[in-house]
Amino acid sequence: MVGSSSPLRAYEESFREEEVPLFVHAAPGGPVGGELLQRVTADIADQEFLRAYQQGIRESDNFCETQIARGNYGNGETHETIARKFAALDLDSIKDPMALLKDNSIRPFDLTSDNGMLKNFLHHAVECSAVMNFALYIGSNEGITPLADALPFGNLLGAKYRRAIGALNPRENPRFGELSFAIFDEVVPAEAIGALSFKEVVNYRKTSENEREAFLEHVLHLESQLRGIPIDEDYPSTVSRFVTEEVAPAAREYRNKMRKVYETLFGSVVKSVTTTAAGAGIVQVFADLSWANLLKIAAVGGAALVKHGVDAAIEARAVKRETALAYLINL
């Protein structure tokens, strides 16, 4: 929603009353300058940032809608034709982005020449960078961790993170971030993310601070094992192999342990409750083993449910402590 005319402005206060920390800020006025200009300049000089922006234009209708205003641009050009042309641009031909932006020999809004399209593309990328960096500035002042709810913004944030880490330690971490993204893709099914509401994501982050920190420490530990790889080696393939050999087995082991915990819980509760009630109907309640159905029999076997439920919760916490992947798998 960064840089958008958001309908959420009308509901800002009610969101916060429901413990979702939503804040709407007006954009800063005047020309971009100072530290904000430095950050925007760094983004535009970063080919990875520009490629992530172009990929967002190419693959996400929602992202494209926020970046290119609807309208008639003359000579038969519309927001849709401009988006297609932006998606097809050869970004390798941009040698000095800021120089191209300042080149007065290229008319503003020139949509007929290759350089004109490149300059227009950079104008849009600059605006996106400015609103993102302003949002990050507000977030740092308010103590908010960035959360990108649209994939293109997540990719743009990823480009910024990798550039920042590379600047801190370029020799040891030439491609920081690929491992954490690869782990996420391996462990978390896409449909799990798609099923979450925005409020659920916010609440999940609020309640999983320790688990997230453990996961990040785990990633840093794994990253340290990759530092000896020469920069010219096929790094993505190495990351893929690392995830297959190190991460996937740990995820399977965690899932198997958790499955055993809950199978034991369900089996114990069924045994206790059916002994108490001695009714075939009670067994039928457990057909899908859902918590909703478990609670229906609390009046009959409440003591058993509480006892075994507490035992299982304690065992489940112990299993979660054994793997930093619990943060992702729990999604």
HEC assignment per residue over the chain: CCCCCCHHHHHHHHHHHCCCCCCCCCCCCCCCCHHHHHHHHHHHCCHHHHHHHHHHHHHCHHHHHHHCCCCECCCCCEHHHHHHHHHHCCHHHCCCHHHHHHCCCCCCCCCCCHHHHHHHHHHHHHHHHHHHHHHHHHHHHHCCCCCCCCHHHHHHHHHHHHHHHHHHCCCCCCCCCHHHHHHHHHHCCHHHHHCCCHHHHHHHHHHCHHHHHHHHHHHHHHHHHHCCCCCCCCHHHHHHHHHHHHHHHHHHHHHHHHHHHHHHHHHHHHHHHHHHHCCHHHHHHCCCCCHHHHHHCHHHHHHHHHHHHHHHHHHHHHHHHCCCCHHHHCC
In a domain, 294, yes or no: yes
Q: Number of folded domains in the chain?
A: 2
In a domain, 129, yes or no: yes
The pLDDT tens digits along the chain (331 residues) read 555 666 667 777 787 787 776 777 776 777 888 899 999 999 999 999 999 999 999 998 888 988 998 888 888 889 999 999 999 999 999 989 999 999 999 988 888 889 999 999 999 999 999 988 988 888 788 777 666 656 788 889 888 877 876 676 544 544 555 677 788 777 777 777 778 777 777 777 777 777 777 777 777 777 777 766 665 557 677 778 888 888 888 888 877 887 777 677 666 665 665 554 444 444 444 444 455 555 555 544 555 556 666 677 777 777 777 777 777 777 6
Specify the pLDDT at position 85.
93
Specify the pLDDT at position 253.
82
The residue from 129, 148, 168 where one domain ends is 168
Specify the pLDDT at position 19.
76
In a domain, 9, yes or no: yes
Specify the pLDDT at position 18.
78
The residue from 117, 151, 168 where one domain ends is 168
Could you tell me the CA-to-CA distances from 309 to 192, 194, 293 in Å, in that order? 25, 30, 14
Q: Which residues contact 157 (CB under 8 A, 6 or more apart)?
A: 132, 146, 148
In a domain, 32, yes or no: yes
Specify the pLDDT at position 237.
78
In a domain, 71, yes or no: yes
- Cα angle, residue 232 at apex, residues 230 and 235 outer, rounded to 5°: 75
Q: Are 33 and 147 part of one and the same domain? A: yes
In a domain, 242, yes or no: no
Q: Are 147 and 271 part of one and the same domain? A: no
Q: Are 252 and 161 part of one and the same domain? A: no
Parent domain of 96: 1-168
In a domain, 55, yes or no: yes
The residue from 150, 168, 186 where one domain ends is 168
In a domain, 190, yes or no: no
Q: Are 145 and 257 part of one and the same domain? A: no
Q: Which two tokens stand for residue 184?
A: 């996420």
Q: Are 161 and 267 part of one and the same domain? A: no
Q: Are 137 and 257 part of one and the same domain? A: no
Specify the pLDDT at position 30.
79
